[in-house]
Amino acid sequence: MDRMNMIKRALLLFTVLLCSLFLTGCRTRTTGSVPSNTVSSGISGEGIAQEEGAEPSDAAMVNSASIQAGTDISETEGTGGVTKENPDAQRKEYDENAPAEVVPGTDRLLHGEGEGSGAGVQAAEDTQESVSRLNEKAEESATQTVPAEEAEHMGVSEDAEQADSALTYFTVLLEDRMGSLFECQRAYVYWETQEDHVTVYKTSMEHTLILNAGAYDVSARLLPENLRVDDGWVMRKNPQVIVKIVDSSILGSAVYSSGAAKAMYNSLCAREGWANIDAVKNSQILLLSGEYLEAPYLQTAAMVMIAMTANPDLFTDVDPQQMLEMLCEEATGTLPAGTWFFTGSEE
């Protein structure tokens, strides 16, 4: 009986030891989560205006970059901190707050040389062998031509016919001239509305005009409720071009003198600290009548004029007054009256 009890006690002790070893073993887990205390967020501002897109802390950038790249991060229980990368990890995890995601079933369209007339459409079958097929019922592709004297700049045939419209001509001209620039050669533009020291938001029509003119908008990161800026903010942005929209009493179809526009120009240059801004030093200030914003053909003229102000050497063959007359006559059948713009070159 004593021997039997001893055997039972030994088995019980062995069982307890096995359980203890199992429970006290070191465990690790793989996670894609970033500790909350490593992430910084918020909105910072300059002067009166506050801007979007505050930069995260260095630690948050490292952790976020590791997660978005699909790197497994091993975290030891009880330490509360992220350890070194685990090169032997078998699975990858992604940050659910990453700015992009992989969507299952999404295809990537490839564009190659066509085999005939008609518009290409996505193939419904044999996608691994062919990514597109021709729609036999599609109409012929439309073409646009420009004057022969512009062939050298446009890369078109020298025997091309005249453009079918002034709007097409100046649109193609703008795209071609500005398309020849490197990103680092594009100017930064400060756009001021009729109200002094009030600029525009990134979803506005004015912002789009700046981008289509081949330039950058210095106010692109401002919040919509913080579009009022001060002279110090403009100085820090140091734009290469300043565009000021003025009232119809200063420039427009009912104004035949540039006296009020010249006074407005001088008042801009005289603002505190503005003498050190590149746009002021280089006389690259453009005053535009608010009428330029009223119709698409006038907006095209405004875009070309912004590009001309930023890159005068690329548009020596374009007369802004003649351009305005061509576009207005084509759209309305009449020539524009009055004085619509004033530039630093007229000072």
Token pair, residue 78, equals 């009880």
Rounded distance, CA 247 to CA 293, Å?
Answer: 12
The pTM assigned to this predicted structure is: 0.56
pLDDT of 12 reads 78
Q: Determine the Cα–Cα distance for residues 135 and 114; give it in Å rounded to an integer.
A: 11
Q: Is CATH 3.40.50.1980 what the domain over 182-346 is classified as, yes or no? A: yes
Beta-bridge partner residues of 222: 51
C-beta separation of 177 from 307 below 8 A: yes
The whole-number pLDDT of residue 41 equals 34
**What's residue 131's pLDDT?**
39
Mean pLDDT of each 10-residue bin along the chain, 347 residues long: 74 72 48 38 44 48 42 42 51 50 46 39 41 46 50 47 79 93 94 97 95 95 93 96 96 93 96 96 96 95 97 95 95 94 78
For residue 297, CA distances in Å to 142, 165, 170, 254, 327 come to 21, 11, 10, 19, 6
Single-letter residue type at 162: Q
Could you list the beta-strand ranges (E) of 158-230.
188-192, 216-217
Q: What's the maximum distance between 2 C-alpha atoms anywhere in the chain?
A: 124
Instruction: Please choose, from the candidates 228, 184, 189, the residue with its C-alpha nearest in 3D space to the C-alpha of residue 208.
Output: 189
Containing 132, the helix (H) or strand (E) segment is strand 132-134
The domain spans of the chain are 26-39+47-87, 182-346
Taking CA atoms, 161 is separated from 156, 167, 317, in Å, by 10, 15, 19
- 189 forms bridges with which residues in the sheet? 217, 241
